[in-house]
Structure formats: structure tokens, C-alpha cells
Amino acid sequence: MNGVILIDKDMDWTSHDVVAKLRGVTRIKKIGHTGTLDPMATGALPICIGKATKIVEYLQADDKVYIADMVFGSKTDTYDSSGEIVATSSKRISEEELRSILPLFTGDIKQLPPMFSAIKVSGVKLYELARKGIEIERELRDVNISKLDLIEFNEKEQTCRIYVHCSSGTYIRSLINDIGEKLSSYANMTSLRRIKCGDFEIENALTLEQLSTKELVLANLIPIDEALKSFQRIDIPHSEYTRITNGMTIILKEGFNSYNTDINSLFYCRGEFIGIGTIFDKSEIGCKAKIKKLLL
């Protein structure tokens, strides 16, 4: 069993909980998730099974899209409503004020990760320190928010819902905390739903309840190459099958001008998907090709 299964994660489940559940259902140990989704959050979580665990790094790097709810007036230690309130503000935020500052959080920005996060410092996860009441200095991270829209705003309740399209590694809780501080107030996240992860849409996701047997998991498994369908496809000549699958560099001559170099590509040979590789050193007569991850 090799491929990707798209899970609609329930609230209060950790990403590791989902992996453990699927290991129990499939009796397969080699299963991994593609990036931590907070227990409070719900939504799209691609899970890699078998040889597909070799592509976790590629799926982790994909952009994400979220719908998040937030409330103004209080800050918590976790930056969301599951935490302890550490500061409050009586300032009332208007929709006009909120809309005016949202553009400041789009594009390439720097973000401070929350203490309650799975980031490791000297081998220790930050949330393990936070639970002990320890706060340490964290480095700012470069993230990109390509789209940040206000979906709705309730001025009476001081709540709002936002749409966020962002790069991997972006913390929506930190974004919301920063928005509150920019408005000289406080804010925390009250709900989060991931609706897209790379090419994976929430409409195609299944709950764990819908995957109660190994047969159901297998029936809904997405092939490895389909999970990476945005990658360039390269067809290797049949005669080079042995060399390319043994990790040797080969020379491509036919059709090489149509390929982009130095990017991750899907390699096919003899009518089957064989792995991920790159082509490089393009010249007038051809280019080199080498496999990086054999996925036969």
C-alpha cells in the first residue's frame, strides 16, 4: 500500500493521533503526516503511506489556505481560545480599522512563532517549555501571505472571520496576535479550518470514520505521482531504465529542449512512474538526468 490519503482532521485530534489511527486500521507502520495541524484546527491533512513517506518533504513545502475565526479584546498564552488569558483591552475595533491594516500582513513578512508550537530549539519542542512556564527568545521567520481577506466582521461581538493563503510554516495564531497588536489591542484565534493544502482540496477529504477498514483506505489512496501532479513530467527512454533506476546519470537528447532544468520532476520509464529526479547541464545536444528518490 503506497500513496497519499487526504484526511479531514477532526478538532482535538493531533496530526500524530491521525497517523496512529491509520496505522491501526491498515497495520502499516510506515505512515507519516505532512506537517503539524494544531489539535484545535480541522481540515485538510495529507497522510503519506508506505513509499509515499519519501515525498513528505515536498508536500510539506506546499502553500496552505485557511479560514480562521478570531475575537478582539484578549490575548492568550497560546494565541488561541484554548489558552489562558494573559492580557485584555477595552478598545473597540471598527471594520474600517481592521481593513486598513490587513495589507500590512500580505506579501513577504517576518513572523514570531508562538511558544506553544512544535518547533524544536536545541532538540526540545517549544510547547514542552511553554507548559513548564518557560518562555525563550525565538527567531523571526520569513513567511509569505499571498492573500488575506476579511470574510465577515461583527462589530458588536468584536469577532471576525478571515481567509488566508500562505506559505508553509506560517502560524495563523501568530498572524492573528500580530493583527491585534497592530490595532493597539489584542486578539486570539477561536477556530481554524484548513481548506487547501497544495493541490489537495478539502472537498475531496475523508474523515477517519469513513476510513474504518484497510480496504476503504486502499480504495481512496491517491497514487504518489498524482499527489505531485504539479511537478514536471519527464519520460526516460526505455533503453536507459537500468541505468536511471540504479542512480546513474544519463543523457537525454530527444525532446530535452521542452524541459525545465534544476527542478523536481516526475520520471517515467517503460510506462511506469519510477521516481523523482532532476535534469541539468542543458546544452545544444542534450541534458543530463539523475534520479533523486526511487519510488518503484
Residue 259 is predicted with a pLDDT of 86
For the cut 90, the answer to whether the pLDDT of residue 285 exceeds it is no
Neighbours of 260 (CB within 10 A): 11
Strand segments (E) across the chain = 3-9, 31-33, 42-49, 64-72, 74-76, 85-88, 107-111, 120-121, 124-125, 141-154, 159-166, 187-197, 200-201, 232-236, 250-252, 265-269, 272-280, 287-294
Residue 234 is predicted with a pLDDT of 94
62 is catalytic: no
Among the options 38, 62, 178, 225, which is catalytic?
38
The alpha-helical segments, DSSP class H, found in 64-121 are 95-101
Q: What is the pTM of this model?
A: 0.90
Domains and CATH numbers, the chain: 3-61+199-223 (3.30.2350.10), 64-192 (3.30.2350.10), 232-294 (2.30.130.10)
pLDDT in tens, 173-222: 999 999 999 999 999 999 999 999 999 999 999 999 999 999 999 999 99
Torsion angle of C-alpha atoms 150, 156, 158, 161, degrees rounded to 10: -30
Residue 54 is predicted with a pLDDT of 95
Residue 136 is predicted with a pLDDT of 78
Higher pLDDT, 115 or 211: 211
Residue 59 is predicted with a pLDDT of 94
